[in-house]
Amino acid sequence: MIKKTILILFFISGIQLIFSPQANTWGFFAHKEINRIAVFTLPSELTGFYKSNIEFITEHAVDPDKRRYAVKDEAARHFIDLDRYGKSPLDSLPKKWEDAVKKYSEDSLKAHGIVPWHIDVMVKRLTAAFRAEDYDRILQLSADLGHYIGDAHVPLHTTKNYNGQLTNQKGIHGFWESRLPELFNDNYDFFVGKAKYIEDPLAEAWQAVAESFAAKDSVLLFEAELNAKYPQDRKYAFENRGASLMKVYSAEYSDEYHKMLDGMVERRMRKAIVTVGSMWFTAWVNAGQPDLDKYKDRKISKETEAELADEDKHYKEGKLNGRSCD
Ligand SMILES: [Zn+2]
């Protein structure tokens, strides 16, 4: 009997390991959706170029997460633990990087995440790529920028309790950003309107994390409330994913939680989509609106392809640098 129990426990813990590593940052599914749909927010001068490259922009929406396996500094670019900066972090933390470094030091800023500043850096890099009409860079940076903007819209990317690990809610990160969009995405309305020119990309990035931060208490509290009243044996289920069996939050439990959130996941995804389109458009305008139609039939270079394949190899070998949300 004891032997059997141990065997079962071993089996269950083996299944839980399969929770990783895809449980990070909007899940791969939502990141791809955000980048793909953002293409349709663009004005006519940009739609030809982006539509003919929509597959690349979609598939590479998750490169920054994969890069965390190869690049030591990558992890910090995906989040900002605002609650490390006192009771009113949005007042105490300077918005400009140089001012924030003066107040808190570069090391401590990097330890607590830098996503809003990194978005601003990426917009500038994309602007330079447009100016240089560097085809490969435009595509790579567009895909990457979409990823970081997506992350900034996730409430649990703005708190040190990013996976509910401080409140006995471990797993909530992937629950909110992967499981819920995968289950309910088909019912979301993604007619988000047209991309707009953004005067101040850094301020826009701060706005995104401020909204996420304002929502993170509900994300945690609602799940805690639901968990307290829900029959524990119905909280999880096992689902087949390809060859593996995966432990997931059950469909009914997910449905209850999703109702309590009252459209929050959809709202954050919608906001992320229009912001991604707007930031691409802004970089292009700031670069002097180069004509991109002539590149419509071009393909990505062999060198860039090799570089991306190398990143993918590191990812598949699976040595993560920094934070994981599994
Ligand atoms: Zn990420």
Convert the pLDDT of each residue in 80-106 to its tens digit.
999 999 999 999 999 999 999 999 999
Residues 115-143 have pLDDT tens digits of 999 999 999 999 999 999 999 999 999 99
If you classify domain 2-317 with CATH, what class do you get?
Answer: mainly alpha
Burial 149-170 (b: 16+ CB within 10 A, else e): bbbbbbbbbbbebbbbeeeebe
Distance 160 CA to ligand 1 centre (A): 15
State residue 26's pLDDT score: 59
What is the average per-residue pLDDT within 266-279? 98
Distance 31 CA to ligand 1 centre (A): 9
Distance 8 CA to ligand 1 centre (A): 34
Note whether 68 and 75 are within 8 A (CB).
Answer: yes
Handedness of CA 35, 41, 281, 53 (dihedral sign): positive
Question: What does pLDDT average to over the chain?
Answer: 90
Q: Where are the domains of the chain?
A: 2-317
Worst-scoring range by mean pLDDT, 44-48, 68-72, 172-176, 280-284?
68-72
Distance 155 CA to ligand 1 centre (A): 13
**Ion ligand 1 — residues with CB under 5 Å?**
25, 65, 78, 151
Distance 196 CA to ligand 1 centre (A): 24
Q: Which contiguous run of DSSP H or E holds residue 237? A: strand 236-241
Type of residue at 26? W
Distance 126 CA to ligand 1 centre (A): 18
State residue 69's pLDDT score: 81
pLDDT for residue 22 is more than 50: no
Worst-scoring range by mean pLDDT, 76-90, 222-236, 306-320?
306-320
State residue 9's pLDDT score: 46
pTM for the whole thing?
0.91
DSSP states of 245-314 as a string? EEEEE-HHHHHHHHHHHTTHHHHHHHHHHHHHHHHHHHHHHHTT----GGGTT----HHHHHHHHHHHHH
pLDDT for residue 266 is more than 90: yes
pLDDT for residue 292 is more than 90: yes
Distance 68 CA to ligand 1 centre (A): 9
Distance 244 CA to ligand 1 centre (A): 24
Beta bridge partners of 245: 240
pLDDT for residue 19 is more than 50: no
Distance 34 CA to ligand 1 centre (A): 13
